[in-house]
A and B are shown apart, each in its own frame.
Chain A
Amino acid sequence: MARRRRALAMLAALAALAAIPLVAGLVNQPFYLDLFRRIMIFAIAAVSLDIILGYGGMVSFGHAAYLGIGAYAVAIPALHGVHSAWVQWPLAMALSGLAALAIGAISLRTSGVYFIMITLAFAQMLYYVGISIEPWGGDDGMRLARRSQLGGPLDLGDPHVFYYVVLAILAVLLLVGDRVIQARFGTVIRAVKSNEPRMRAIGFSTLRYKLAAFVLAGAVGGLAGALLANQTEYLTPSYMHWTRSGDIMVMVILGGMGTLAGPVLGAAAFLLLENVLSAWTVHWQAILGPLLVLVVLYARGGLWGLLPGGASRDG
C-alpha cells in the first residue's frame, strides 16, 4: 500500500516536472526552465549521495568531488575537440567511479567522524588540484565551447530538449534506484547500516558492499557533474568546493534521507529557497544558515517526512 502510494507520488512529481516547460512557456519566463533543470541536476547528485548517506549510513562529506570530476570529464575532451556525449558522459561516470574507488578504499577503513573528515579532506584536495592546474583553467575555470552532442534530433543547445534529457535521466535513476534498493544489494546495504557486526558475523563481506555502493554513488555523482557542466556551459574548480558538498548533503537531509523522493524534494526546496532569498537580499546565507540549524534541531524527518503518508521510509 505504502509502496503504491509512494510510486504514485513519484509519478505525480515527475509529471509536474514534465509540465514545467509548458508553464514556463505560457507565462513567458524561460528562466524557470533553467532553474528547474538545475534543480533536477542537483536532484540527481542528491539521490546519488542518499544511496550511501541515507541507505548506507556513510556520512560522506565530499560528494562535490564527483560533481567536479564529471564536469572536468566534459570540459577537457571538449577542449580537445571531442564533443560527443557518448564519450564524455561514460567517461565522467568511469572517472568519478574510479576516484570513489580510491577514496572509498582508504576512507572506508575508518568510520564515524574520521570518515566524515577524510571524505571532506579528499574532496578538498581535488579542489586544490583543480585550482593549481593552469592548462585546465586553474582558478578561473574555462568556458565550454559547446554542449555535449548526443547526435540525431537530441540537440542539448535547445533548452527544451536539454530539459527533457535531464528529466529522463532523473526518472531512470529513480526507477533503477528503487530496484537496486529493493534488490539483494540494497537490502545488504541497509542491513549494514543498521548492524554491521551482525552482517559480518553471518558471513557478508560488508566492506565490499559498502565500497560498491560508494563507487555507484560516485559514478552517478559524476554524471550529475557532466550535466552541470552542460547546464552552466562553464567549468570551475568551485564545483568541488566543500560548501558544495555541504549543499548537496543539506538537500538530502532537508528532503528526507533514506528515501528516493526526499532528495529530489530537498534539491527543489533548497534551490527554490536560495532563489527566493537571494532575490530578496545578497546576504541570503545569513538567513539560510540559522534555518539549517533549526531544521537539524526540530525537523529530522525532512520535508518528505512531513508529507502525509511519506513518513514511512522507502523499503
Chain B
Amino acid sequence: MNWLLVVEQCLNGLQLGVMLFLMAAGLTLVFGIMNFVNLAHGSLYMLGAYFAVAFLKWTGSFAASVVLALLATLVVGMLVEVIALRTLYERDHLDHVLATFGLILFFNELVAIAWGRAALFASVPPALGGFVEILPRLRYPVYRAVIILVGLAVALLLYVVVSRTRLGMLIRAGASNRTMVAALGVNIRLLYTVVFGFGAALAGLGGLMAGPIYTVQPGMGEEILIEVLVVIVIGGIGSIRGALVGAVVVGMVDTLGRAFLKPMLATVVSPAAADSAGPALASMSIYILMAAVLYFRPQGLFPATRS
C-alpha cells in the first residue's frame, strides 16, 4: 500500500470530520441547552450551500457570498426558532422530531421551487484552487486544506466563547438550570434564539464549504445529518468536546473505510466477493462503530453533565 495515499485519505477523513463537527456543534449545543432535537439542522446546512451559490452569482465575489450566506442562515435559523420551534421546548422529543421532520419537507421543497431539483454546480473559488505540497510528493487540494483549517479555527473559537466569555457562561448556566438563570434576570428566550441562530450559522458554514466538494441539491442536508447524529451519539449528546472527537473519529472511519476496505478485503477473499461486500461494509462501518461505543458506554464517550 502506498503511504502517501494513506496520508492523503487521512487528510480527507479529517476534512470530513471538521465538516461533521460544524454541524454537530450546533446540534449538540441546541440539545444541551434547550433539550431540543432539531432534525431540520440539515436543512440549514443545505440552505447555506444554496445561499452561497446564489449570492456568488449575484455579487460575483466569493468573500461577499460567504458573509451574506452566513448572515442569511443566521436569520433563517432565528426566524424558524421564533415562529415554529420556540413553543415546542416544553414538549417531549417525539413532538420535536415530528415538527422538524415537517420543516425538512418544507425546506427541501422550497429549495426545489426556488432553484429546481437538479444539482447545482458550485465552483471552488480561483484563489483557493490548485494544490499545496504538504509533504514531499504529496500534493493536496488547497480548498480541502482550507476547510480543515477553518474547521479547527471554529472549534478553537467555540471553545474560547463557551468557556471564556460572558455569553458562554450564560450558555453553560442555561444548560444546567434554566429556571435559575431566568430568575437571575437573564432573558432566556433571547439567549435560546441567539444560540439557535448561532448553530444555524455553523451549519450554514458547513454547507457553503461543502458546496464545491459535494453536490448542491435538495435533500443534501439529510445525508450528512444522519452521520452527524452518529457523531453526537458517539461523542455524547450536549458535549462540544464529544462532538469534536466523535466527528473526527467518524470522518476518519468513514473515509478510510471507503478507501481501503475493498482492497484489504480483496487480499483475504476473492476480488468479486470484495467488490460486492466492500462498499456494503464500508457504508456500515460508522454504524457498527456507534453500536460498539454504545454497547460499552450507552451515554457516549463524553457525556455532558446535566443537573
Contact = CB atoms under 8 A, between A and B. Distances in A.
Interface in B230-267: 230, 232-233, 237
Contacts of A300: 95
Contacts of B180: none
Interface string A270-290: 000000000000011110111
B102 A289 contact: yes
A81 interface: no
Instruction: Categorize the interface residue count of chain B.
Output: 35 or more
Is the contact region of chain B dominated by helix, strand, or loop, or is it mixed?
helix
A42 interface: no
Interface string B59-95: 0000000000000000000000000100110010111
A164 interface: no
Contact of B108 (A134, A285, A293): A285
Contacts of B113: 283, 286
Contacts of B109: 283-286, 289
Given A121-B233, A125-B283, A296-B95, A114 B298 contact: yes
B88 A297 contact: yes
Interface stretch (A12-20, A172-180, A212-220, A245-253): A245-253
A112 B96 CA distance: 12
Interface in A88-114: 106-107, 109-110, 112-114
Interface in A20-69: 53, 59, 61
B226 A293 contact: no
Contacts of B95: 296, 300
Interface stretch (B118-126, B182-190, B197-205, B289-297): B289-297
A259 interface: no
Nearest to B300: A114
A131 B104 CA distance: 23
Nearest to B83: A293
A120 B226 contact: yes
Instruction: Categorize the interface residue count of chain A.
Output: 35 or more
B227 to A, nearest CB: 9
A9 interface: no
B103 interface: yes
Contacts of A112: 93
A290 B226 contact: no
Contacts of B93: 59, 112-113, 116
Interface in B174-222: 222
B98 interface: yes
B279 to A, nearest CB: 4
B307 interface: no
Given A242-B222, A292-B98, A113 B37 contact: yes
Kindly name the residue among A110, A122, A128, A283 whose own CB sees the greatest number of chain B CB atoms within 10 A. A128
B298 A120 contact: no
Kindly name the residue among A112, A118, A122, A300 whose own CB sees the greatest number of chain B CB atoms within 10 A. A118
A191 interface: no
A20 to B, nearest CB: 28
Contacts of B300: 114
B287 A297 contact: no
A295 B93 CA distance: 15
A67 to B, nearest CB: 17
B94 A290 contact: no
A296 B106 CA distance: 15
A240 B99 CA distance: 21
Given A243-B105, A253-B94, 18 more contacts: A61-B97, A106-B291, A114-B294, A114-B299, A116-B93, A117-B233, A121-B226, A131-B283, A132-B279, A283-B112, A286-B105, A288-B102, A290-B102, A290-B106, A292-B99, A292-B105, A293-B84, A297-B88
Interface of B: 31, 37, 84, 87-88, 91, 93-95, 97-99, 101-110, 112-113, 222, 226, 229-230, 232-233, 237, 276, 279-280, 282-284, 287, 290-291, 294-295, 298-300
